[in-house]
Amino acid sequence: MNVGVVVFPGSNCDRDMFHVLSDVFHMTPQYCWHDKPLPENLDAVVLPGGFSYGDRLRAGVIAAHSPIIQDVKKIAEKGIPILGVCNGFQILVESGLLPGVLLKNDSLNFMCEWTNLTVENNKTPFTNKFELNEKIPIPIANGDGRYFVDDETLKQLERKNQIVFKYDQVVNGSSNQIAGVCNEDGNVVGMMPHPERAAEPEINPHDNKPSSLIFESLLQKIGANN
Amino acid sequence: MSLEPHELEELKLKIGRDPTSTELQIVAAEWSEHCSYKSSKKHLKILPMDGPLVINEKGYDSGVLDVGDGYVVTAHIESHNHPSAVEPYGGAATGVGGVIRDILSAGTRPIALLDGLRFGDIEKDQHAKWLFKNAVKGVADYGNCLGIPTIGGEVEFDECYANYAMVDVAAIGFGKKENLIKNHAKKGDLVVLMGGATGRDGIGGSQFASDSLESENRSAVQIPDPFIEKLIIEAILEARNEKLIHAMKDLGGGGLSCAVSETADALDIGIEMDVDNVHTRESDMHSDEIMVSESQERMLIITDSVKLVKFQDICNKFRIECSVIGHVTFDSKMHVKKDGKTIANISTDIVANATLLDLPSKKPKYLENIEEKKSFPVLSDYSEIMLKLLASPNIASKIWVYGQYDHEVGIRTVVKPGYDASVLRLDNGKFLSIKIDGNPKQCYINPREGAIGCFEEACRNVVCTGAKPIGMLDHLQFGNPKDPEIFWTFLESLKGLTDFAKDFEIPCIGGKVSLYNETPKGSIKPTPVIGVIGLIDKKPLRIQKINSGDCLIMIGNTKDELGGSEYSEYIHKFIGGKCPAVDFSESKKNMNAVLELVENELIKSAHDCSKGGLAVAVSELCMTNLVGCTVPLDDVPGDNLASDEILFSESHSRYLVTFEKKNIQNLEELLKKHNVSFKTIGEFGGESIQFTTDSKPVIDLSVDKAQKTWLNSLKEMVMHA
């Protein structure tokens, strides 16, 4: 199970994601540097969090124009599972792979805290092992994490089942408390909270099993594909 | 910004001629208090620096501890007080950047930050509020961008810091012992400057930091760029893995002057360099400016011509500039050229080793009667005072601060901020616990006992997680050392720390002295900040939720030590009284007892008693677990104390441990075996925090109300005028 972990200058959750994919879930991750072509044998791609290009101009916008994103777009069309976490989500949004924008939190501050998500769509490659409305204790850590879409788009997202995760209460002022969305095909998922920070019991003060299901869902999906 | 007349004479005598203008700039930077430690160095030697786990290598800017299985932990502490007082955002941010590069210099990856922040009275002083808000943002933006978690620290407010800011940052690194950079160089090796371009920021910064803050010298404040720092970290670690680095030093105070002369002096080599080869931000920079600029995010690397090619490839990959600025010679001289002409040529030994001073000291007059006891009016109900304390800026929850710091990145943070000390997991299955503590209120009343108290408090905090203290960082921050009374307080604190370190066999693995911390109204209070690093071999105390029916034991004696307490100073506006003093043998017994309780998994949590005393410590347990508790004051270990002394005295060596009732017998047996003073003082339950005497409540506070006040107070203070 080959998973590409895309690394941009300024990515800083790449090593955490790599550790969880390899040491906890026994997949075979490989780092993919932003200016090299994406390897061809990948079963899935993860865009980890961080501050690509120091969040200059706007979070994720410079990375969204790197060569590797062209490759990510190509494999996205083929239906290969792609997950963007935090800055990875911002990059997916900026590159047009996912709808909406991520704005400054309504507190105007960086926020690092544990939140609870509810699963709104359990058909994606990263949520297929969840029950609908299942709760996930998981931390956020971002300054620009307020997901925003206009009312029209929001209706569309709801109709097409593109809302994947919601916060169970108001956290940062995001539209409809959205924490994660997917594309129309459901194979590209972006989320602000960090599943890689919640999947091991040692570092999760609540319950690590729900976050683990995000990775186990991927294992199930890739297993079914192969 | 130059040498004092007698220093200039000394320099002339040493080199046998008039110095060139560049030499003057280089020496002035390097002989500044900030770089040379000329006032303190003689005395610092008394601290014990060696221990079984300490690894000493020449030229390290951080302390190195062997944590077993082929791994090392590095640690360092720095402050950025002067710059933060002028420009809090940039000053605090570059303070983070500087200490991280010290960790990187040893060849280890920075894995955690802690920050100690001190400002004036934010309840009254708008400027203090502005400084506080922006310093927090500076630390947050820099650390968060790098992906290095800020896992703990402390925030304190005191009028003595009005119009000033104390920003201390400690950094922790981790790596394989075999990857440590063993600083060495041979003749012909190349000297490389990598990282951000040298600009006109931070010119004369080290001299600026070595003087009282009189004017707002903004050009002396450096400009932060965490993105470049992140690239430097990754590039250096990649180069380290490929063994491309012979020696390395970060550029901090004194810029190139300091890095080049100190590296050459430490390695017993000479360095010849050409300022024309330094990549600069502006084209018309004077060579003297290039030599003393303190532009951030720069590293000095020594390598050879073969490895250089690979090193440049790595820099290209990360798009970081690097310039070969010179080479290693064997004449022990720092030789600087421009346009092929020599502009400085001077022995590194002379540059790097300023003549050390032996400044006079004298016990300050103010200390004569300061510890005289003062009794405060006895009240029948302290509930209102209690609530006022919980809302006070020094005691209120600091969640508004650490909630802005990414404290999870790196996925090592096992115990998160908000408890006694944070805990990190290491790759060898062990755990590291770290805490920094200061207490200027107590240090002002008794510089010796106050400093020991900071040290013991930091130890208590790591002990509460189950960690044994293995190393200490000291950051000694005082006013103008030329004032004999101030210098006396420095020496007293230092002697106290030394006594404790020796008695407890905790080596000092690194530190920093920051002097000339003066505000328009005079010197700051003595502000030593002590960091303690603890190691847990097996597993840390996994803090469990306290439930109704669980019990509370207090270990350690409460004494009539209200001096420097929040109760005296915040409630009664009184500075003075008896300063808490650590009894070494009691302290040691209590520490060992708590460590064994954790190891035997007999307790749910351990919490130390410090700011606000027993009353606040018990409340914190209730508020974080949303459960009530009743504590009869007559049960609290201690002799002949008034109610307010039992409630609010900040005596040291005290711990609150919580446990399931069924463990009570095992617990009491173990504590008796350790021969410590202890008592079961309460049971959890109900919805209020209660303290009683003769079964009558002297404090009765709803947990819910207390918790809301405590959690929101600081945020409200910052957000609303």
Supply the pLDDT for residue B688. 97
Say whether both B535 and B563 belong to one domain: no
**Taking CB atoms and an 8 Å limit, are A196 and B410 in contact across chains?**
no
Summarize the confidence of residues B264-284 as an average pLDDT. Answer: 94
Picking from A50, A55, A110, the nearest residue to B147 by CB comes out as: A50
Determine the residue of chain A that is closest to B145 in CA distance.
A51
pLDDT exceeds 80 at position B211: no
Average pLDDT, chain B: 94
Neighboring chain B residues of A113 at a CB cutoff of 8 Å: 403
**Taking CB atoms and an 8 Å limit, are B145 and A54 in contact across chains?**
yes
Burial track B372-408 (b if 16+ CB lie within 10 A, e otherwise):
eeeebeeeeebbebbbebbbbbbbbbbbbbbbbbbbb
pLDDT in tens, A97-154: 999 999 999 999 999 999 999 999 999 999 999 999 999 999 999 999 999 999 999 9
Picking from A9, A20, A141, the nearest residue to B231 by CB comes out as: A9
Which of the 8 DSSP states describes residue A197?
Answer: G
CA distance B607 to B604: 10
**Structurally, how many domains does chain B consist of?**
3
- Nearest Cα to Cα of residue B51 among B432, B534, B507: B507
- Nearest Cα to Cα of residue B631 among B640, B641, B643: B643
Look at residues B358, B381, B406 and tell me which one is the last residue of a structural domain: B358
**Taking CB atoms and an 8 Å limit, are B144 and A50 in contact across chains?**
no
Closest CA–CA distance from residue A25 to any residue of chain B (Å): 15
Residue B420 lies in a domain: no
Say whether both B155 and B220 belong to one domain: no
pLDDT in tens, B372-426: 988 899 999 999 999 999 999 999 999 999 999 999 999 999 999 999 999 999 9
Summarize the confidence of residues B573-578 as an average pLDDT. Answer: 97
Residue B128 lies in a domain: yes
Neighboring chain A residues of B409 at a CB cutoff of 8 Å: 12-13, 16, 49, 141, 197
**Taking CB atoms and an 8 Å limit, are A112 and B410 in contact across chains?**
no
Maximal C-alpha separation, chain A: 45
Residues belonging to chain B: 721
pLDDT exceeds 70 at position B215: no
pLDDT in tens, B680-696: 999 999 999 999 999 99
- Nearest Cα to Cα of residue B410 among B147, B55, B20, B19: B147
Domain that holds residue B197: 1-30+182-358
Instruction: Work out the pLDDT band at B539, boundaries 50, 70, 90.
Output: confident
In CATH, what is the architecture of A2-225? 3-Layer(aba) Sandwich (3.40)
Q: Taking a contact as any Cβ pair under 8 Å apart, which residues of chain A between 40 and 79 contact chain B?
A: 49-51, 53-56
For testing the chain B interface, which of A7, A8, A11, A12 should be mutated: the one with the most B CBs within 10 Å?
A12
Neighboring chain A residues of B407 at a CB cutoff of 8 Å: 112
CA distance B673 to B153: 34
Residue B503 lies in a domain: yes
**Taking CB atoms and an 8 Å limit, are B414 and A202 in contact across chains?**
yes
CB-CB contact of B680 with B667 (8 Å): no
Supply the pLDDT for residue B206. 63
CA distance A14 to B44: 42
pLDDT exceeds 60 at position B218: no
- Is A194 in CB contact (< 8 Å) with chain B? yes
Summarize the confidence of residues B546-556 as an average pLDDT. Answer: 97
Say whether both B517 and B470 belong to one domain: yes
Closest CA–CA distance from residue A155 to any residue of chain B (Å): 33
Supply the pLDDT for residue A224. 66
Neighboring chain A residues of B231 at a CB cutoff of 8 Å: 9-10
Closest CA–CA distance from residue B118 to any residue of chain A (Å): 21
Look at residues B309, B338, B358 and tell me which one is the last residue of a structural domain: B358
CA distance B415 to B541: 9
pLDDT exceeds 60 at position B627: yes
pLDDT in tens, B457-509: 999 999 999 999 999 999 999 999 999 999 999 999 999 999 999 999 999 99
Picking from A12, A16, A139, the nearest residue to B230 by CB comes out as: A12
Residue B469 lies in a domain: yes
Neighboring chain A residues of B425 at a CB cutoff of 8 Å: 202-203
Say whether both B533 and B567 belong to one domain: no
**Taking CB atoms and an 8 Å limit, are A54 and B225 in contact across chains?**
yes
Supply the pLDDT for residue A225. 62
For testing the chain A interface, which of B230, B234, B411 should be mutated: the one with the most A CBs within 10 Å?
B411
Neighboring chain A residues of B414 at a CB cutoff of 8 Å: 202-203
Neighboring chain A residues of B145 at a CB cutoff of 8 Å: 10, 12, 51, 54-55
Give the residue with greater pLDDT, B523 vs B252: B523
pLDDT exceeds 70 at position B37: yes
In the numeric block, which tokens belong to residue A128?
A: 């297929």
**Taking CB atoms and an 8 Å limit, are A54 and B318 in contact across chains?**
no
- Structural domain boundaries in chain A: 2-225
Supply the pLDDT for residue B712. 96
Look at residues B540, B557, B580 and tell me which one is the last residue of a structural domain: B540
CB-CB contact of B646 with B614 (8 Å): yes
Say whether both B186 and B176 belong to one domain: no
Determine the residue of chain B that is closest to A199 in CA distance.
B411
Cβ–Cβ pairs < 8 A, chains A and B: 79
pLDDT in tens, B639-678: 999 999 999 999 999 999 999 999 999 999 999 999 999 9
Say whether both B334 and B221 belong to one domain: yes
Say whether both B499 and B485 belong to one domain: yes
Closest CA–CA distance from residue B586 to any residue of chain A (Å): 34
Residues of A annotated as catalytic (active site), given as ranges: 86, 194, 196
Contacts of B313 (CB under 8 A, 6+ apart): none
- Nearest Cα to Cα of residue B582 among B501, B489, B506: B501
Q: What is the percent of chain B with per-residue pLDDT over 90, rounded to a whole number?
A: 90
Say whether both B709 and B687 belong to one domain: yes
**Taking CB atoms and an 8 Å limit, are A112 and B225 in contact across chains?**
no
CA distance B234 to B81: 28
User: Residues of B near A (CB-CB distance < 8 A)?
Assistant: 140-141, 144-147, 225-227, 230-231, 317-319, 402-414, 416, 425
Summarize the confidence of residues B155-173 as an average pLDDT. Answer: 97
Instruction: Tell how strand B71-79 and strand B63-68 pair up.
Output: antiparallel
Residue B41 lies in a domain: no
Say whether both B688 and B569 belong to one domain: yes
Instruction: Work out the pLDDT band at B721, boundaries 50, 70, 90.
Output: low
In the numeric block, which tokens belong to residue B4?
A: 């004092």
Picking from B147, B226, B411, the nearest residue to A196 by CB comes out as: B411
Residue type, B636: V
CB-CB contact of A133 with A218 (8 Å): no
Residue B564 lies in a domain: yes
**Taking CB atoms and an 8 Å limit, are B411 and A110 in contact across chains?**
no
For testing the chain A interface, which of B409, B416, B542 should be mutated: the one with the most A CBs within 10 Å?
B409
Place of tokens 């203070």: B717
**Taking CB atoms and an 8 Å limit, are A200 and B225 in contact across chains?**
no
Say whether both B142 and B64 belong to one domain: yes
In the numeric block, which tokens belong to residue A69?
A: 């994103």
Supply the pLDDT for residue B283. 87
Say whether both B573 and B615 belong to one domain: yes
Picking from B147, B317, B408, the nearest residue to A112 by CB comes out as: B408
pLDDT exceeds 80 at position B110: yes
Residue B367 lies in a domain: no
- Is A203 in CB contact (< 8 Å) with chain B? yes
pLDDT exceeds 70 at position A226: no
CA distance B132 to B113: 18
- Is A108 in CB contact (< 8 Å) with chain B? no
Picking from B319, B404, B411, the nearest residue to A109 by CB comes out as: B404
Residues of B annotated as catalytic (active site), given as ranges: 34, 80
Place of tokens 């650390």: B143
Say whether both B260 and B119 belong to one domain: no
